[in-house]
Amino acid sequence: MNAARPAPTALSTPAVEPAPAAPAPCAPEDVRRVACVGAGVIGGGWVAHFLARGYDVTAWDPAPDAEQKLRRLVAAAWPALEQLGLAEGASPDRLTVTATLEEAVSEAQFVQESAPEKLELKRDLLARLDAAAPEGVVIASSTSGYPMSDMQTRAAGAGRLVVGHPFNPPYLIPLVEVVGGELTAPSAVGWASRFYEVAGKSVITMNREVPGFIANRLQEALWREALHMVANGEATVAEIDASITEGPGLRWACMGPMLTFALAGGEGGMAHMLDHFGPSLKAPWTRLEAPELDRELYDAVVRGCDEAADGRSIADLVAERDRGVINVLRATGRLAERPTEGAAE
């Protein structure tokens, strides 16, 4: 079932011979100064996150009103961050907005890039960050989907460039997907993953490059089908959103799509689910083509769910899911709205 590693795009042929990645100047645990370059929706969210975790943060963004907007974003996020619990010494006062990119990164121990999702802009910016940041400092891009192999082509120090893909807002959604490019040093990937863990993130370190990484590929499948349905008059925007918030979204906050579907198989788990609903993969239930459910894929999914269950029985998982859904319903004020009238006498 192991799909061949996707061939690098023609764009990812390195234009420069990378210098071997110098070691990071400090351990992930010893980072105190973080630079955020690009301070819009996501970059601003990163600034708020790193400030709340007690770092000194420098930020640079070319927009004339960037500082005003950034400080407004941080101030708006701060009450939620106080609720979550701030690190010792955390303060918005530890933000410095610099006049130049070079100033922002000159003493940084980690750099998070969050400029617009435009490939040429990212290539030039990452090369500029590589030229300006202290030797060995890992530079991560917030890109939503570009492979680092396609972005790192102009950086002499490509070995220290990684993807660190967050979810909006980074100060609340814990996931960050980390993956290197063809020229990235494995040590930089490991350093970045460890740093994000230390900085309070939930890290998935991918073992291969794929455009869109993991969660965005899954989101994109749903997003594109939703757009088709609206375009074809099959569902309204409101129906699309309600179908998730009143349906699978309640479960997904507690349990991922794989284990959720294992429970669709009842006591038979994922094996029964695939036996029962496997043929539906050929039904026109989406415009996305399904893979062939061959023995290798079948066994990999069943085995993966058994491993994810980690000794919990189906009954344990059902109880866990039900507790979680009730908590989400309660937390989102929906338990009260549920119809109280029972069956007619």
Ligand X SMILES: NC(=O)C1=CN([C@@H]2O[C@H](COP(=O)(O)OP(=O)(O)OC[C@H]3O[C@@H](n4cnc5c(N)ncnc54)[C@H](O)[C@@H]3O)[C@@H](O)[C@H]2O)C=CC1
Ligand Y SMILES: C[N+](C)(C)CC(=O)CC(=O)[O-]
Contact pick of 9, 68, 91, 168 for ligand Y (by CB under 6 A): 168
Pick what 143 binds: ligand X, ligand Y, none; C-beta below 5 to 8 Å, kind-dependent: ligand X
Per-residue binder mask for ligand X (CB under 6 A), 62-101, x = binder: xx--x-----------------------------------
Q: Is there a contact between 85 and 55 (Cβ–Cβ < 8 Å)?
A: no
Pick what 43 binds: ligand X, ligand Y, none; C-beta below 5 to 8 Å, kind-dependent: ligand X
Query: According to the annotation, is 300 in a ligand binding site?
Result: no
Place of tokens 């230390």: 198
Q: How far apart are CA 169 and CA 332, in angstroms?
A: 18
SS3 204: strand
167 touches ligand Y by CB under 6 A: yes
Pick what 62 binds: ligand Y, ligand X, none; C-beta below 5 to 8 Å, kind-dependent: ligand X
Least distance from C-beta 114 to ligand X, angstroms?
4
Q: Is there a contact between 40 and 73 (Cβ–Cβ < 8 Å)?
A: no
Least distance from C-beta 66 to ligand X, angstroms?
6
Type of residue numbered 92 = P
SS3 46: helix
Pick what 40 binds: ligand X, ligand Y, none; C-beta below 5 to 8 Å, kind-dependent: ligand X
Query: According to the annotation, is 43 in a ligand binding site?
Result: yes
Least distance from C-beta 170 to ligand Y, angstroms?
9
Cα(first)–Cα(last) distance of the chain, in Å?
A: 55
Per-residue binder mask for ligand X (CB under 6 A), 22-51, x = binder: ---------------xxxxxxx--------
Pick what 67 binds: ligand X, ligand Y, none; C-beta below 5 to 8 Å, kind-dependent: none
Count the neighbouring beta carbons within 10 Å of the beta carbon of residue 38.
Answer: 26
Q: Which of residues 144-163 bind ligand X (CB under 6 A)?
A: 144
E strand or H helix at 227: helix 215-231
Contact pick of 9, 168, 236, 327 for ligand X (by CB under 6 A): 168
| Nearest residue to ligand X on Cβ basis | 40
Sheet holding 161-165, edge to edge: 95-97, 56-60, 33-37, 110-113, 139-141, 161-165, 175-180, 202-205
Provide the b/e sequence for 180-209 (b: ≥16 CB within 10 Å): bbbbbbebbbbbbbbbbbebbbebbbbeeb
Least distance from C-beta 64 to ligand X, angstroms?
9
332 touches ligand X by CB under 6 A: no
Q: What is the DSSP string of 230-250?
A: HHTTSS-HHHHHHHHHTTHHH
Least distance from C-beta 43 to ligand Y, angstroms?
13
Contact pick of 105, 216, 251, 270 for ligand Y (by CB under 6 A): 216
Q: Which of residues 124-143 bind ligand X (CB under 6 A)?
A: 125, 142-143
Cα 312 to the chain's mean position, in Å? 27
Contact pick of 61, 150, 177, 209 for ligand X (by CB under 6 A): 61
Q: How far apart are CA 191 and CA 24, in angstroms?
A: 8
Per-residue binder mask for ligand Y (CB under 6 A), 117-146, x = binder: ---------------------------x--
Cα 31 to the chain's mean position, in Å? 22
Q: What is the DSSP string of 77-136?
A: HHHHHHHH-PPTT--GGGEEE-SSHHHHHTT-SEEEE---S-HHHHHHHHHHHHHHSPTT
Note the residues at the interface with ligand Y (CB under 6 A).
Answer: 144, 167-168, 216, 219
Binding site members for NAD(+): 38-43
Interface with ligand X (CB under 6 A): 37-43, 61-63, 66, 114-117, 121, 125, 142-144, 166, 168
